[in-house]
Amino acid sequence: MSGSDVLAAVKRFTTADVRDGVVDAVTALLESANISPGEIAAVMIGTTQFVNAFVQRKDLVPVAAIRIALPMGDGVPPFSGWPEDAVAKVRGTAEIVGGGSYYDGRDYRVLDAEGLRRAALDAAALGIDSFAVSATFSPIRPDIETKGRAIIEQAVPGAIVTISSDLGGVGLLDRENAGIVNASLRPLAARVVASLETAITQLNIHAPIYITQNDGTLIDTGVAASLPILTCSAGPTNSIRGAALLTGLQDAIVADIGGTTTDIGFLRRGFPRETTSPNRIGGVRTNFRMPDVLSLAMGGGSIVAKGGNGWRVGPTSVGFRLQDKGIIFGGDTLTATDIAVRAGYAHLGDPSRLENLTSEDVEAILDDMHAQVEEGIDQVKVSAAPLPLILVGGGNILLSRALRGTSETLRPRHAEVANAVGAAIAMASGRVNRLFDVASLGRDTALEQAKQEAIAAAVTAGAVPGQVEIVDLEELPMTHMKTGSAQIRVRAVGPLAAAMN
């Protein structure tokens, strides 16, 4: 038995209370593997609770957005370009105060502490206690935002403050947006993380708990509670990483078919390919790194309906109510899972309830499902060369035909729990993404400094010292700047020390 063996796997339908679902699934898992709670060295959890909440505009709180940027950074105000329904839920107040730095780190105005304090008190008077602070070029000068956070916390006891330099890249507006989204989710994140911790304690498991983040690596529960946006794309990332382990492939297309969506991503050297362009979360543009994943509104719970153009699967879904709504389970809603059972792809529920559905209709519905996935595959590929397709997720039963653009289709053992497998093998990571003065330091020195900073960050995050490796390195010369600066991005990963004890 190796450290990458799957000893046992359990899959359960989603429950309304996350704690109940975790307790039920882990209890069954321990029994299946015949393992006692005391043998567990670490717990890795992947959750989509936070991104789902923002996309659905649920459980969000109003945010006071304070930008430190005057006199120059006021051309586009906070919340610009946001969808109206997101603004209605999240916008509390928006203020711009004096302060900030140039791209080389020099102050162009000292932080207006009194103006910041007044903005915080005005927000508090409206009952707002969640703040998002952003400043120009704060990834280079994070101390400006750190000072701003201290001022707010002193002025408003109990304030929950997110600073944008913890999240995004150099661009102010997209980084500010990420900070605001994060701030709107923090109270929910605190409740969810506490519920997860309670569930694990209730199971008599006394091991460190980690949450998977967007790049397939781990953060502790404290970081997840304060920076929940870092987990918003962990679901498909975990599935892609799990697919790599379950098949042994390092380069492939991965389709993770869940209850509501099909997430199609690209596996490159064992890790998800990351997007280099700005990304959108619930319609809001941000600039922190996320996996390059295309989400299709089609999954096992997708509703099947016939319209003027024939049968269509999705985009609406019964979600976690599949067991209540699906026809094979006694419900009255025709879903994609019903079709898979009627076609003989899976053996669930009572297929006799679908006898009135003709074979011609079934084939037409299957045509639509396969066509949607083929179109998605075409969008994520960067060349015409066919690649292996790995099907994972509980909805992998929906597809059975060969798909255009693929060389073969793999459905590995434990495909339905690839997400959990990806979380279980996740490692600790460290990142660097900032400007370096290459002209003064020299290119080799700047690159080495960035690498060492990323390695140190990975060790701080829990990686085993001496076993950290660099998996991504990008150098972007800032040719429009006279100083000879370059933006260097480095990612380092290493095995989790707590899981090796």
Dist. CA 40–CA 449, nearest whole Å? 37
pLDDT of residue 2: 45
Where would I find the H helices in 381-482? 418-424, 438-441, 443-460
- pLDDT tens across 384-423, in order? 889 999 999 888 889 988 899 899 999 998 888 888 888 8
Q: Chain-centre distance of CA 257, in angstroms?
A: 16
Model confidence at 1, in pLDDT bands (50, 70, 90)?
Answer: very low
> For 11, what's the count of Cα atoms within 13 Å in the CB-facing half-sphere?
14
SS3 category, 408? strand
- Cβ contacts of residue 202 below 8 Å, gap of 6+? 19, 23
**CA nearest neighbour of 4 among 252, 245, 302, 294:** 245
Q: Out of 155-159, 265-269, 285-289, 459-463, pick the least confident.
A: 285-289
Beta carbons within 10 angstroms of residue 356's beta carbon: 6
| Mean pLDDT, the chain, integer | 87
362-371: which pairs have CB atoms within 8 A and are 24 or more residues apart? 364/310, 364/311, 365/304, 365/311, 365/313, 365/336, 365/339, 366/339, 366/400, 366/401, 368/310, 368/311, 368/312, 368/313, 369/298, 369/313, 369/336, 369/339, 369/398, 369/399, 370/399, 370/401, 370/403
Percent of the chain residues past pLDDT 90, beyond the cut:
39
CB-count burial class (<10 Å; 0-12, 13-18, 19+) for 441: middle
Question: Contact at 8 Å (CB) between 306 and 358?
Answer: no
CB-count burial class (<10 Å; 0-12, 13-18, 19+) for 414: middle
Question: Contact at 8 Å (CB) between 80 and 108?
Answer: no
For residue 266, which phi and psi values (nearest 5 degrees)?
-120, 120
Asked if pLDDT for residue 107 goes beyond 80, the answer is yes
Beta bridge partners of 38: none
Question: Contact at 8 Å (CB) between 204 and 184?
Answer: no
Query: What is the fold, at CATH topology level, of the domain defined by 233-425?
Result: Nucleotidyltransferase; domain 5 (3.30.420)
Model confidence at 480, in pLDDT bands (50, 70, 90)?
Answer: low
**CA nearest neighbour of 205 among 497, 429, 419, 498:** 498
Question: Contact at 8 Å (CB) between 148 and 180?
Answer: no
- The predicted model scores a pTM of 0.79
**CA nearest neighbour of 46 among 273, 274, 266, 233:** 233
Asked if pLDDT for residue 114 goes beyond 90, the answer is yes
Buried b (16+ CB within 10 A) or exposed e, 287-310: bbbbbbbbbbebbbbbbbeeeeee
Q: Which residue has the tokens 């794309």?
A: 233
Asked if pLDDT for residue 501 goes beyond 60, the answer is no
- pLDDT tens across 440-478, in order? 888 889 889 989 999 998 888 888 898 898 877 878 776
